[in-house]
Amino acid sequence: MVVALACSSISCTFTPFNRSNSVLACSGSNPDQRRRTKTSPSVVYIEDIELPKTSCDESNVEENAKIEGTGSGFVWDKLGHIVTNYHVIAKLATDQSGLQRCKVSLVDAMGTRFTKDGKIVGLDPDNDLAVLKKTSPSVVYIEDIELPKTSSDESNVEENAKIEGTGSGFVWDKLGHIVTNYHVIAKLATDQSGLQRCKVSLVDAMGTRFTKDGKIVGLDPDNDLAVLKIETEGRELKPVALGTSSDLRVGQSCFAIGNPYGYENTLTIGVVSGLGREIPSPNGKSIREAIQTDADINSGNSGGPLLDSYGHTIGVNTATFTRKGTGMSSGVNFAIPIDTVVRTVPYLIVYGTAYRDRF
Protein backbone atom coordinates (compact mmCIF):
# COMPACT_ATOMS: atom_id res chain seq x y z
CA MET A 1 0.00 0.00 0.00
CA VAL A 2 2.42 2.62 -1.25
CA VAL A 3 1.81 6.05 -2.73
CA ALA A 4 4.13 8.60 -4.25
CA LEU A 5 3.21 12.27 -4.03
CA ALA A 6 4.95 15.25 -5.56
CA CYS A 7 5.36 18.61 -3.84
CA SER A 8 6.60 21.69 -5.62
CA SER A 9 9.97 22.58 -4.12
CA ILE A 10 10.15 26.20 -5.38
CA SER A 11 13.58 27.19 -3.98
CA CYS A 12 13.50 24.86 -0.98
CA THR A 13 16.02 22.09 -0.45
CA PHE A 14 14.51 18.81 0.78
CA THR A 15 16.19 16.36 3.12
CA PRO A 16 15.60 12.77 1.94
CA PHE A 17 15.53 10.05 4.58
CA ASN A 18 18.96 8.66 5.40
CA ARG A 19 19.17 5.47 7.47
CA SER A 20 22.53 6.51 8.93
CA ASN A 21 21.05 9.69 10.42
CA SER A 22 19.12 7.97 13.21
CA VAL A 23 20.62 7.47 16.67
CA LEU A 24 18.47 5.72 19.27
CA ALA A 25 18.77 4.88 22.95
CA CYS A 26 16.34 3.22 25.34
CA SER A 27 13.85 5.31 27.21
CA GLY A 28 14.83 5.77 30.82
CA SER A 29 18.49 6.19 29.96
CA ASN A 30 20.61 8.99 31.40
CA PRO A 31 20.48 12.47 29.79
CA ASP A 32 23.46 12.03 27.48
CA GLN A 33 22.02 8.71 26.22
CA ARG A 34 18.48 9.88 25.53
CA ARG A 35 17.05 9.08 22.15
CA ARG A 36 18.05 11.58 19.51
CA THR A 37 16.81 11.73 15.97
CA LYS A 38 17.97 13.69 13.00
CA THR A 39 15.34 12.32 10.66
CA SER A 40 12.51 14.76 11.46
CA PRO A 41 13.24 17.03 8.45
CA SER A 42 12.52 13.99 6.29
CA VAL A 43 9.16 13.19 7.91
CA VAL A 44 6.05 14.98 6.64
CA TYR A 45 2.58 15.61 8.05
CA ILE A 46 -0.30 15.00 5.65
CA GLU A 47 -3.85 16.38 5.91
CA ASP A 48 -6.61 14.93 3.77
CA ILE A 49 -9.11 17.79 3.34
CA GLU A 50 -12.38 18.37 1.53
CA LEU A 51 -13.20 21.82 0.22
CA PRO A 52 -16.71 23.18 0.80
CA LYS A 53 -19.06 22.58 -2.14
CA THR A 54 -20.01 26.24 -2.26
CA SER A 55 -18.23 29.29 -0.89
CA CYS A 56 -19.11 32.96 -1.22
CA ASP A 57 -15.50 33.88 -0.49
CA GLU A 58 -13.10 32.18 -2.87
CA SER A 59 -10.09 33.75 -1.12
CA ASN A 60 -10.47 31.68 2.03
CA VAL A 61 -12.08 28.56 0.63
CA GLU A 62 -9.33 26.34 2.12
CA GLU A 63 -9.80 27.91 5.56
CA ASN A 64 -13.34 26.53 5.51
CA ALA A 65 -12.21 23.09 4.35
CA LYS A 66 -13.00 20.00 6.41
CA ILE A 67 -10.07 17.91 7.62
CA GLU A 68 -11.13 14.31 6.95
CA GLY A 69 -7.96 12.56 8.02
CA THR A 70 -4.28 12.90 8.78
CA GLY A 71 -1.23 10.78 8.24
CA SER A 72 2.52 10.73 7.82
CA GLY A 73 5.04 10.21 5.07
CA PHE A 74 8.67 10.83 4.30
CA VAL A 75 10.74 12.67 1.71
CA TRP A 76 11.98 10.27 -0.96
CA ASP A 77 14.27 12.57 -2.90
CA LYS A 78 15.26 16.20 -3.40
CA LEU A 79 12.78 16.54 -6.26
CA GLY A 80 9.86 16.70 -3.82
CA HIS A 81 8.56 13.13 -4.01
CA ILE A 82 6.82 11.99 -0.82
CA VAL A 83 6.08 8.35 0.08
CA THR A 84 3.04 7.52 2.25
CA ASN A 85 0.28 4.93 2.65
CA TYR A 86 -2.40 4.60 0.03
CA HIS A 87 -5.10 4.68 2.72
CA VAL A 88 -3.83 8.07 3.94
CA ILE A 89 -4.78 9.70 0.61
CA ALA A 90 -7.42 7.20 -0.57
CA LYS A 91 -10.14 9.87 -0.71
CA LEU A 92 -8.01 12.03 -2.96
CA ALA A 93 -7.15 9.02 -5.11
CA THR A 94 -10.83 8.15 -5.62
CA ASP A 95 -12.20 11.71 -5.71
CA GLN A 96 -14.93 12.34 -8.30
CA SER A 97 -16.02 15.75 -7.03
CA GLY A 98 -12.78 17.67 -7.47
CA LEU A 99 -13.06 18.88 -3.86
CA GLN A 100 -10.43 16.67 -2.22
CA ARG A 101 -7.01 18.08 -1.47
CA CYS A 102 -3.87 16.77 0.20
CA LYS A 103 -1.82 19.22 2.25
CA VAL A 104 1.78 18.24 2.99
CA SER A 105 3.58 20.03 5.81
CA LEU A 106 7.34 19.65 6.29
CA VAL A 107 10.56 21.52 6.90
CA ASP A 108 13.31 22.19 4.41
CA ALA A 109 17.00 21.57 4.97
CA MET A 110 17.31 24.98 6.63
CA GLY A 111 14.62 24.15 9.18
CA THR A 112 11.90 26.36 7.69
CA ARG A 113 8.42 24.85 7.87
CA PHE A 114 6.12 25.16 4.86
CA THR A 115 2.96 23.55 3.47
CA LYS A 116 2.19 22.58 -0.11
CA ASP A 117 -0.47 20.69 -2.05
CA GLY A 118 0.50 17.07 -2.66
CA LYS A 119 -0.21 15.75 -6.14
CA ILE A 120 -0.49 12.01 -6.72
CA VAL A 121 2.14 10.65 -9.09
CA GLY A 122 1.82 6.91 -8.38
CA LEU A 123 -0.35 4.40 -6.52
CA ASP A 124 0.01 0.83 -5.30
CA PRO A 125 -3.25 0.08 -3.46
CA ASP A 126 -2.80 -3.69 -3.61
CA ASN A 127 0.44 -3.94 -1.65
CA ASP A 128 -1.43 -4.72 1.58
CA LEU A 129 -3.17 -7.63 -0.15
CA ALA A 130 0.18 -8.96 -1.30
CA VAL A 131 1.57 -8.73 2.24
CA LEU A 132 -1.43 -10.63 3.63
CA LYS A 133 -1.28 -13.30 0.91
CA LYS A 134 2.45 -13.77 1.39
CA THR A 135 2.44 -14.01 5.19
CA SER A 136 -0.92 -15.44 6.30
CA PRO A 137 0.14 -19.10 5.71
CA SER A 138 2.92 -18.50 8.24
CA VAL A 139 0.61 -17.14 10.97
CA VAL A 140 -0.88 -19.59 13.46
CA TYR A 141 -3.90 -19.48 15.77
CA ILE A 142 -3.26 -20.63 19.34
CA GLU A 143 -5.91 -21.82 21.80
CA ASP A 144 -5.05 -22.20 25.47
CA ILE A 145 -7.41 -24.90 26.77
CA GLU A 146 -8.05 -26.69 30.06
CA LEU A 147 -9.27 -30.27 30.03
CA PRO A 148 -12.10 -31.20 32.40
CA LYS A 149 -10.89 -32.70 35.67
CA THR A 150 -13.18 -35.68 35.30
CA SER A 151 -14.89 -37.10 32.25
CA SER A 152 -17.03 -40.18 31.79
CA ASP A 153 -16.12 -40.30 28.10
CA GLU A 154 -12.37 -40.26 27.50
CA SER A 155 -12.87 -40.28 23.71
CA ASN A 156 -14.24 -36.73 23.61
CA VAL A 157 -12.42 -35.23 26.56
CA GLU A 158 -11.00 -32.41 24.40
CA GLU A 159 -14.45 -31.56 23.07
CA ASN A 160 -15.45 -30.73 26.64
CA ALA A 161 -12.34 -28.66 27.26
CA LYS A 162 -12.60 -25.04 28.29
CA ILE A 163 -10.95 -22.43 26.08
CA GLU A 164 -9.17 -20.11 28.51
CA GLY A 165 -7.51 -17.82 26.01
CA THR A 166 -6.42 -17.36 22.43
CA GLY A 167 -3.44 -15.81 20.72
CA SER A 168 -1.29 -15.83 17.64
CA GLY A 169 2.15 -16.98 16.61
CA PHE A 170 4.15 -17.65 13.49
CA VAL A 171 6.10 -20.47 11.87
CA TRP A 172 9.81 -20.10 12.56
CA ASP A 173 11.14 -23.01 10.50
CA LYS A 174 10.05 -26.07 8.55
CA LEU A 175 10.72 -28.32 11.54
CA GLY A 176 7.55 -27.10 13.25
CA HIS A 177 8.89 -24.51 15.67
CA ILE A 178 6.36 -21.76 16.43
CA VAL A 179 7.22 -18.40 17.98
CA THR A 180 4.67 -16.63 20.17
CA ASN A 181 4.46 -14.53 23.33
CA TYR A 182 5.17 -16.10 26.71
CA HIS A 183 1.96 -14.63 28.10
CA VAL A 184 -0.08 -16.44 25.42
CA ILE A 185 0.97 -19.85 26.77
CA ALA A 186 1.76 -18.86 30.39
CA LYS A 187 -0.90 -21.19 31.84
CA LEU A 188 0.62 -24.16 30.03
CA ALA A 189 4.10 -23.07 31.12
CA THR A 190 3.09 -22.95 34.79
CA ASP A 191 0.63 -25.88 34.75
CA GLN A 192 0.78 -28.12 37.82
CA SER A 193 -2.40 -30.08 37.15
CA GLY A 194 -1.50 -31.66 33.81
CA LEU A 195 -4.80 -30.42 32.38
CA GLN A 196 -3.54 -27.51 30.29
CA ARG A 197 -3.11 -27.90 26.55
CA CYS A 198 -2.11 -25.63 23.70
CA LYS A 199 -3.77 -26.14 20.32
CA VAL A 200 -2.02 -24.68 17.28
CA SER A 201 -4.05 -24.22 14.09
CA LEU A 202 -2.35 -23.34 10.80
CA VAL A 203 -2.15 -24.17 7.11
CA ASP A 204 0.62 -26.05 5.35
CA ALA A 205 2.34 -24.95 2.15
CA MET A 206 -0.47 -26.55 0.11
CA GLY A 207 -3.13 -24.52 1.91
CA THR A 208 -4.55 -27.40 3.96
CA ARG A 209 -5.60 -26.38 7.47
CA PHE A 210 -4.73 -28.65 10.38
CA THR A 211 -4.47 -28.47 14.18
CA LYS A 212 -1.82 -29.95 16.44
CA ASP A 213 -0.81 -29.88 20.08
CA GLY A 214 1.90 -27.34 20.76
CA LYS A 215 4.68 -28.53 23.07
CA ILE A 216 6.87 -25.98 24.85
CA VAL A 217 10.54 -26.17 23.89
CA GLY A 218 11.76 -22.81 25.20
CA LEU A 219 10.66 -19.88 27.36
CA ASP A 220 11.94 -16.34 27.87
CA PRO A 221 9.47 -14.46 30.08
CA ASP A 222 11.94 -11.56 30.37
CA ASN A 223 11.30 -10.77 26.70
CA ASP A 224 7.76 -12.23 26.60
CA LEU A 225 8.84 -14.90 24.11
CA ALA A 226 8.16 -18.61 23.83
CA VAL A 227 8.83 -21.35 21.30
CA LEU A 228 6.42 -24.21 20.71
CA LYS A 229 6.93 -27.35 18.63
CA ILE A 230 4.28 -29.14 16.61
CA GLU A 231 4.50 -32.45 14.77
CA THR A 232 4.51 -31.74 11.04
CA GLU A 233 3.90 -35.38 10.00
CA GLY A 234 5.49 -34.78 6.62
CA ARG A 235 3.64 -31.54 5.94
CA GLU A 236 5.62 -28.67 4.46
CA LEU A 237 5.34 -25.48 6.49
CA LYS A 238 5.99 -21.94 5.33
CA PRO A 239 8.20 -19.97 7.75
CA VAL A 240 7.93 -16.19 7.91
CA ALA A 241 10.40 -14.02 6.03
CA LEU A 242 12.60 -12.39 8.66
CA GLY A 243 13.50 -8.72 8.42
CA THR A 244 15.48 -6.46 10.72
CA SER A 245 14.44 -3.87 13.27
CA SER A 246 17.77 -2.03 13.35
CA ASP A 247 16.96 0.28 10.43
CA LEU A 248 13.29 1.02 11.10
CA ARG A 249 12.16 4.61 10.84
CA VAL A 250 9.28 6.43 12.45
CA GLY A 251 6.51 6.96 9.91
CA GLN A 252 7.15 3.89 7.78
CA SER A 253 4.27 1.55 7.02
CA CYS A 254 3.70 -1.61 9.03
CA PHE A 255 1.14 -4.41 9.13
CA ALA A 256 -0.04 -6.58 12.01
CA ILE A 257 -1.48 -10.03 11.28
CA GLY A 258 -3.14 -12.11 13.96
CA ASN A 259 -6.35 -13.58 15.31
CA PRO A 260 -8.11 -10.91 17.39
CA TYR A 261 -11.13 -12.33 19.23
CA GLY A 262 -10.63 -15.57 17.26
CA TYR A 263 -11.03 -13.98 13.82
CA GLU A 264 -8.20 -15.63 11.93
CA ASN A 265 -5.79 -13.84 9.58
CA THR A 266 -6.94 -10.34 10.48
CA LEU A 267 -4.79 -7.61 8.94
CA THR A 268 -4.45 -4.16 10.52
CA ILE A 269 -2.43 -1.36 8.99
CA GLY A 270 -0.52 1.51 10.49
CA VAL A 271 2.88 3.11 10.84
CA VAL A 272 5.84 2.80 13.14
CA SER A 273 4.94 5.44 15.72
CA GLY A 274 8.03 5.25 17.88
CA LEU A 275 11.24 3.35 18.52
CA GLY A 276 13.32 2.46 21.55
CA ARG A 277 10.31 2.14 23.86
CA GLU A 278 10.42 0.33 27.18
CA ILE A 279 7.47 -1.89 28.19
CA PRO A 280 6.92 -4.31 31.09
CA SER A 281 7.44 -8.04 30.60
CA PRO A 282 5.18 -10.72 32.16
CA ASN A 283 7.62 -11.22 35.04
CA GLY A 284 7.87 -7.52 35.83
CA LYS A 285 11.15 -6.80 34.07
CA SER A 286 11.56 -4.37 31.17
CA ILE A 287 11.55 -5.16 27.47
CA ARG A 288 13.81 -2.59 25.83
CA GLU A 289 13.87 -1.21 22.29
CA ALA A 290 10.19 -2.09 21.74
CA ILE A 291 8.50 -0.83 18.57
CA GLN A 292 5.47 1.42 18.99
CA THR A 293 2.80 1.30 16.27
CA ASP A 294 -0.74 2.51 15.68
CA ALA A 295 -1.65 -0.70 13.83
CA ASP A 296 -4.37 -2.18 16.05
CA ILE A 297 -3.27 -5.01 18.33
CA ASN A 298 -6.33 -6.38 20.11
CA SER A 299 -6.97 -9.43 22.27
CA GLY A 300 -5.78 -12.47 20.32
CA ASN A 301 -3.21 -10.56 18.25
CA SER A 302 -0.46 -11.21 20.77
CA GLY A 303 2.35 -13.34 19.35
CA GLY A 304 1.59 -12.53 15.72
CA PRO A 305 4.08 -10.86 13.38
CA LEU A 306 4.49 -7.15 12.75
CA LEU A 307 5.53 -6.72 9.11
CA ASP A 308 7.10 -4.09 6.91
CA SER A 309 5.83 -3.20 3.44
CA TYR A 310 7.77 -6.09 1.91
CA GLY A 311 6.16 -8.67 4.18
CA HIS A 312 9.29 -9.11 6.29
CA THR A 313 8.74 -9.70 9.99
CA ILE A 314 10.09 -6.76 12.00
CA GLY A 315 8.54 -7.55 15.38
CA VAL A 316 6.27 -9.72 17.52
CA ASN A 317 3.02 -8.03 18.53
CA THR A 318 2.81 -8.10 22.29
CA ALA A 319 0.94 -5.29 24.08
CA THR A 320 -1.46 -2.40 23.78
CA PHE A 321 -2.82 0.41 25.90
CA THR A 322 -6.56 -0.19 26.01
CA ARG A 323 -9.38 2.30 26.25
CA LYS A 324 -10.66 2.23 29.82
CA GLY A 325 -13.58 -0.12 30.26
CA THR A 326 -13.56 -1.39 26.66
CA GLY A 327 -10.51 -3.62 26.25
CA MET A 328 -10.11 -2.08 22.79
CA SER A 329 -6.81 -0.85 21.40
CA SER A 330 -6.14 2.82 22.00
CA GLY A 331 -3.80 3.08 19.02
CA VAL A 332 -0.72 2.87 21.23
CA ASN A 333 0.57 -0.64 20.60
CA PHE A 334 3.92 -2.37 21.01
CA ALA A 335 5.95 -5.13 19.42
CA ILE A 336 9.14 -6.90 20.45
CA PRO A 337 11.82 -6.02 17.86
CA ILE A 338 12.73 -8.90 15.56
CA ASP A 339 16.45 -8.42 16.24
CA THR A 340 15.77 -9.42 19.87
CA VAL A 341 13.77 -12.42 18.65
CA VAL A 342 16.50 -13.55 16.24
CA ARG A 343 19.08 -13.40 19.04
CA THR A 344 16.87 -15.29 21.50
CA VAL A 345 14.96 -17.99 19.62
CA PRO A 346 17.92 -20.23 18.63
CA TYR A 347 18.88 -20.51 22.30
CA LEU A 348 15.29 -21.31 23.26
CA ILE A 349 15.23 -24.11 20.68
CA VAL A 350 18.59 -25.60 21.73
CA TYR A 351 18.72 -24.90 25.48
CA GLY A 352 15.10 -24.22 26.36
CA THR A 353 16.06 -20.89 27.86
CA ALA A 354 17.65 -17.60 26.87
CA TYR A 355 21.42 -17.25 26.47
CA ARG A 356 21.83 -15.43 29.77
CA ASP A 357 20.08 -18.30 31.64
CA ARG A 358 21.49 -21.32 29.84
CA PHE A 359 23.78 -22.50 32.70
The CB density around residue 283, as the number of other CB atoms within 10 Å, is 13
128: left (phi over 0), alpha (psi -120 to 50) or beta: alpha
Question: Is 126 marked active-site?
Answer: no
Residue type present at position 303: G
The Cα–Cα gap between 325 and 279 comes to 21
Q: Of residues 87, 183, 245, 308, which has the active-site annotation?
A: 183
Residue type present at position 61: V
How far, CA to CA in Å, does 339 sit from each of 224, 244, 245, 316, 336? 14, 6, 6, 10, 9
Question: Is 246 marked active-site?
Answer: no
What is the C-alpha R_g of the chain? 23
Question: Is 224 marked active-site?
Answer: yes
Q: Of residues 72, 253, 273, 302, which has the active-site annotation?
A: 302
Which candidate, 290, 283, 270, 281, places its Cα nearest to that of 336?
290
Q: Of residues 48, 128, 222, 224, which has the active-site annotation?
A: 224
Q: Which residues are catalytic?
A: 183, 224, 302
